[in-house]
A and B are shown apart, each in its own frame.
Chain A
């Protein structure tokens, strides 16, 4: 019961702390360059929040979130390219590599409203269609993981092949404005950063509510005993579908915000490697917790920037080693470090006792064995 009272309080304190850091501290101490870097991490963290929901709570190892991230990103990038080009004109790279004729499926994204709606709905809609096909057929576990991974690979290959309409390997870049604001102006950079921070916090709030809701409990039930849930009269496919679609929508929004912050989107940002990197951050942070995925992802992204600046080529190995260490010795991720230290012994298999707190407040659940 104490856990229950402390739980919501802890989350509010955490979110308030996050707000102070992101809205006040970061803009005042970080250079514009570093601020944009952090902004990129925040976008990755949004994807991570969705992965926490789908994988941590729903048991779906979503190894292909790069697809939805990429969808959101390319939608936004198309709009920025078109608005940079001006009404009726074609983006620069089309003039350079192609015929200079804007393809019909680009045209709707001249409108900021259409673009925004598409960013919010298209990734979720595609996830719904995919999810219906996958979950109704009871594809799960490693098969699901491989399928989503293959999707990311296919998506990247598709993009690379369309040099004249998607920019191919180079992707889309060189954006000058965002909804009429000059992207080179530091004030506007800070504004975009603040938008990303606000969106991330809003996603955390939404996810926190989902974790506490009856739906959140049901999702855990499906994760642990899908068949049992079926015999209680639920269709587990629909329950999983909701989490999968929300995770996709979060990744899509993340991608859309990534574009004006990073100034580029290319197949390298949406394929297999970034998709796995998302998962690694979540696993390291603690997939079953609310804040673990966010902190883990920011930490990993930060480490990647720093280490690959200093020791190029070394990062991949380090990342792999880190993942193995966490899975072997800290299956609940860094978020479970607290519980482990408190118990004063090495983490054994998750015992039921710490889960009592989780039962009262799922947002606190911190221990979870990693299974694929």
Chain B
């Protein structure tokens, strides 16, 4: 895979739902090999940004990867341009095997004739991805029987074989055990080395451990941006997360109980795809 030095440049991205601006003039610049975390309270607009970048919701403004404008294109075209995403709830094809999941993800550019053929063996790119996501032993298992963590890894594997240069991951470690989080973090560091990665997360400990840079979103706007330390020290960020300024300076402590990502009962603003 050719190393690309393109970067993601978002300018004035705005998404309105019936006049309500879920994303409001957001600017973002994310470079390759810079693990960017996108954080913010529930309803801040994190998922909506990913939706806008991948054509799921209409948006105004601009989002360029390299020279290519993404806004205004259809979802499947954006995917073919090398922008891949995962979903807040793992969405693999549960009735298909791990191999079939990956093979489908690898095949968007296959010709109709190739699609009508039967797969023989395991494509190279798939076996490489299987190793990367440590699912080689599970290759013939239906994706539905994988553990929650394994499903998320399969999602990441699908993005890899899809040859995505931009990975937009929506809460990839939500609901994972501590071990699985650690492994996922390492995996993301590894795959992020030659890709542009945005990770939406509520888990502050995970963020502090793996983020190269952080963008804090609030009410659809960028509130703060910088290194983990810079963002943590920002009084506006503390205010958003605590409801009042100048309380506990430790963001991790402050945010963890309020925004437990594993808490399935947390009110969801809408059904996720």
Residue ranges of A at the interface with B (Cβ–Cβ < 8 Å): 1, 209-210, 212-215, 217-218, 220-221, 224-225, 227-235, 352-353, 355-356, 358-360, 365
Q: Are A231 and B75 in contact (CB under 8 A)?
A: yes
* CB-nearest residue of chain B to A218: B104
Pick the contact of A233 from B94, B96, B97, B109 — CB < 8 Å? B109
B110 within 8 A of A: yes
Q: Which B residues are closer than 8 A to A by beta carbons? A: 54, 56, 74-76, 79-80, 84-85, 87, 91-97, 100-101, 103-105, 107-110, 114-119, 140-142, 144-145, 158, 162, 273
Q: Could you tell me the distance in whole angstroms from the C-beta of B91 to the nearest C-beta in chain A?
A: 5
Contacts of A235 in B (CB 8 A): 74, 76
In order of increasing CB-CB distance, the 9 nearest A-B pairs are A233-B108, A233-B79, A359-B97, A352-B144, A233-B80, A227-B273, A215-B115, A352-B145, A221-B93
Q: How far is the CB of B78 from chain A (nearest CB, A)?
A: 8
Report how many A-B pairs have Cβ atoms within 8 Å: 103
> Is there an interface contact between B104 and A217, defined as CB atoms closer than 8 Å?
yes
Q: Tell me the bound Cα distance from A167 to B193 in angstroms.
A: 72
22 contacts between A and B (CB under 8 A): A213-B115, A213-B118, A214-B103, A214-B116, A217-B103, A218-B104, A218-B115, A225-B91, A227-B91, A229-B104, A230-B75, A231-B54, A231-B76, A231-B79, A232-B79, A233-B108, A355-B95, A356-B97, A356-B141, A358-B95, A358-B142, A359-B97
Chain A residues, CB < 8 A from B100: 217, 221, 359
Q: Are A360 and B107 in contact (CB under 8 A)?
A: no
Distance between Cα atoms of A26 and B120 in the complex (Å): 39
Q: Is the CB of A1 within 8 A of B96?
A: no
Give the residues in chain B near A209, CB-CB below 8 Å. 118
A232 B104 Cβ-Cβ under 8 A:
yes
A221: which of B74, B79, B96, B162 is its contact (CB, 8 Å)?
Answer: B96
Q: Distance in Å from the Cβ of B163 to the closest Cβ of chain A? A: 9
Q: How far is the CA of A43 from the CA of B92 in the complex (A)?
A: 38
Chain B residue at smallest Cβ distance from A350: B95
Please give, as numbers and ranges, the residues of chain B lying within 8 Å of A356 by CB-CB distance: 97, 140-142, 145
Q: Compute how far the CA of A224 lies from the CA of B84 in the bound complex, rounded to whole angstroms.
A: 19
Partner of A352, one of B94, B116, B158, B273: B94
In Å, the complex CA distance between A356 and B96 comes to 8
Chain A residues with Cβ below 8 Å from B117 are 213-214
How distant is the Cα of A370 from the Cα of B116 in the complex, in angstroms? 27
Complex: A224 Cα to B92 Cα, angstroms: 9
Contacts of B107 in A (CB 8 A): 214, 218
Supposing A215-B115, A234-B76 touch, asked if A228 and B140 sit within 8 A by C-beta, the answer is no
Query: Which residue of B is nearest A217, CB measured?
Result: B100
Q: Nearest-CB distance from B115 to chain A (Å)?
A: 4
Alpha-carbon distance A213/B117, docked complex (angstroms): 5
Pick from B87, B118, B142, B144: contact of A214, CB below 8 A. B118
Chain B residues with CB below 8 A from A210, complex form: 116
In the assembled complex, the Cα of A230 lies from the Cα of B115 at a distance in Å of 16
CA distance A227 to B56 in the complex (A): 9
In the complex, which residues of chain A have a beta carbon less than 8 angstroms from the beta carbon of B144? 352, 355
Q: In the complex, A181 Cα to B244 Cα: how many Å?
A: 92
Contacts beyond the supplied A213-B118, A215-B116, A356-B140: 12 A-B pairs with Cβ under 8 Å: A210-B116, A214-B110, A225-B93, A227-B56, A231-B75, A233-B108, A233-B109, A235-B76, A356-B141, A356-B142, A358-B95, A359-B97
